[in-house]
Amino acid sequence: MLKTEINTVATLCQLHTDLSDEEIRKIQEVVQNLQLIADLNQANVFIDCQTREKKHAIVVAEAAPSTAKSVYKNPVVGKFAYETFEPAVFYAFRTGKPLFLNHAFTQEGKKVEQSVVPIIGVHNRVIGTLIMEKDNSDKLQNQNKLKALTEANETLSELLLGMAENRPFIPEVIEESLFIIDQDLRIQYSNPAAMNLVLEMCSMECKSGNFFTTFFPNLEEICLRSDELVIQEVTIQNKVFQMKKIALVQNEQNSGSFIIFRDLTELREKERELTVKTVAIREIHHRVKNNLQTVASLLRLQMRRGIPEESKVHFVESLNRILSIASVYEIILSNSQNQDDVEIVSLIEKIGNMLVFSDDHEGKTITIDYSGPKLYIKSNLAVSVALVINELIQNCVKHAFTERNEGQIHVVIEEEASAIMVLVKDNGIGYTSTMKPSLGLDIVKMMIEHDLSGHFRIEGTSEGTVATVEFPFTREV
């Protein structure tokens, strides 16, 4: 505690109280440990002393915890405390007895848990009070929630047990099988769906008073569990059910259980079929990828064995197109979530790096970079996008940097409203409308308009060429 704070205690006591110098020193001794007390208890701590008239008290020292959030926004040293708002404090002054865990309000109107201990001076006189205040709003909120849940549980138990007395409140046409059993596992109520379920299990008719375990002997362990709620998937005669067991409580005593069976057989069968189909689709993707790589290998083999020089460029272009399509299936197969989706930036990066870094480009230094958010598109769209990007980047590599020693390609992916926009930029010689049309650009236009239902434009700028591809896209939620 700082020396200035010790002096403040003496000044306030001398101005407003009738404490002697010895009693003030006693208060100062307590003040020296005030911060330690606050940190240890994670609470705000104060010392109040009564005024000369004994009608009020004044706060002569305070400490906010450094180990927890303070319940006060502003300092209160020097402020008066009134009995109307601080009854526990004045009780301690009058009786010399402590009060613990008392509910109170701070001077800022916040609910707190308050404890008050009297500070005893000479001749057993109460010379001050040590006050500790903790924020208990969360504790009260949790208590209220617990009370509400307990009341709700009691009400539910009464309603459900009322069903066993021929006063049902749940419609009899509900699809789930409902049972109410008592603590001895005797059936007190079963709806028509539950009766039908029992008839499927055996030829016996389900009646009140039957033991639940007579029909479902393998579920006895679940029924005897003391948990308030048990949710478990169970198999009964080759059928799959979700079983919910809700404990019923009356007067804080277990009075039985409410059991719900939901038939999941059809759902699990569909999930199994979906898993089989997913495995089959991945196998197809794997075979398509292998077949494409086989075709690419055959083209490479033919090129190594010798082809006319004028045909070499056409072989390379065809090879790149095949490898671009194969890239789609490689990304699908690398997806650990077994989804038929392709992340577009990864696909474009894979194709771009293959085209730019797989050849020396007649000694030219060409670099490429990519930017854009993670967007996933279906594999059928991804094949068309792969071919389009292949043609655009290949066009940059072949035509943009003639008579230059280096070049830069930048691919930007953007999402705008319900569309994806891909921009392929280069800092080359620049495109003009008088240039001879190429097969590659014809492929791009055809695929964008027919396969992607999008738009394509290419234009020259002062810095080179910008090719823009835009096609509709709906992000899945």
What tens digit of pLDDT does each residue of 390-419 get? 888 888 888 888 878 888 999 999 988 788
The pLDDT assigned to 343 comes to 86
**Beta-carbon count within 10 A of 112 CB:** 22
Between helix 344-357 and helix 309-334 the angle, nearest 10°, is 150
In the chain, % of residues over pLDDT 90? 18
CA distance 345 to 399: 24
The pLDDT assigned to 12 comes to 92
* Across 123-136, average pLDDT: 89
The pLDDT assigned to 48 comes to 95
* CB of 7 closer than 8 Å to CB of 60: no
Higher-pLDDT residue of 462 and 166 is 462
Residue 334's contacts (CB-CB under 8 Å, 6 or more residues apart) are none
Q: Compute the C-alpha angle 225/229/232, nearest 5°.
A: 80
The pLDDT assigned to 364 comes to 81
> What are the pLDDT digits (tens) for 215-267?
888 888 888 888 888 888 998 888 899 999 988 876 667 778 888 898 888 88
Stretch among 323-332, 375-384, 419-428 having the lowest mean pLDDT: 323-332
Name the pLDDT band for 477 (thresholds 50, 70, 90): very low
> What are the pLDDT digits (tens) for 176-199?
888 888 888 888 888 888 888 888
CA distance 266 to 285: 28
E strand or H helix at 8: helix 3-16
| Cα–Cα nearest to 206, from 217, 218, 192 | 192
The pLDDT assigned to 107 comes to 66
N-to-C CA span, the chain = 58
The pLDDT assigned to 167 comes to 46
Higher-pLDDT residue of 202 and 387 is 387
CA distance 411 to 352: 9
Residue 144's contacts (CB-CB under 8 Å, 6 or more residues apart) are none
The pLDDT assigned to 437 comes to 67
In the chain, % of residues over pLDDT 70? 84
In 229-378, which ranges are continuous DSSP H helix? 265-305, 309-334, 344-357
CA distance 60 to 131: 12
> What are the pLDDT digits (tens) for 335-390?
655 566 888 888 888 888 888 887 766 778 888 999 988 888 887 788 888 888 88
Dihedral-angle region of residue 135 (phi above 0 means left; psi in -120 to 50 means alpha; beta otherwise): beta
Name the pLDDT band for 120 (thresholds 50, 70, 90): very high
The pLDDT assigned to 238 comes to 84
CA distance 128 to 174: 68
The pLDDT assigned to 159 comes to 53
**Beta-carbon count within 10 A of 289 CB:** 19
Mean pLDDT over each residue of the chain, to the nearest integer? 81
The pLDDT assigned to 60 comes to 93
> What are the pLDDT digits (tens) for 95-113?
999 988 787 777 666 778 8
The pLDDT assigned to 435 comes to 74
Range with top average pLDDT, 73-77, 97-101, 116-120, 461-465: 116-120
The HSE-up count of residue 419 (CA atoms within 13 Å, CB side) is: 13
* CB of 296 closer than 8 Å to CB of 326: yes
What CATH number does domain 268-472 carry, 3.90.1720.10, 3.40.1390.10, 3.40.50.11740, 3.30.565.10?
A: 3.30.565.10
* Across 288-296, average pLDDT: 74
* 445 pLDDT higher than 60: yes
- Domain 142-263 annotated CATH 3.30.450.20: yes
Name the pLDDT band for 424 (thresholds 50, 70, 90): very high
Could you tell me which CATH class the domain 3-135 is placed in? alpha beta
* Across 5-23, average pLDDT: 89
CA distance 30 to 6: 10
* 450 pLDDT higher than 90: no
Establish whether domains 3-135 and 268-472 are of one fold: no
> What are the pLDDT digits (tens) for 68-89?
888 888 888 999 988 878 888 9
* 161 pLDDT higher than 70: no
* 208 pLDDT higher than 60: yes
**What residues does each domain of the chain span?**
3-135, 142-263, 268-472
CA distance 440 to 212: 74
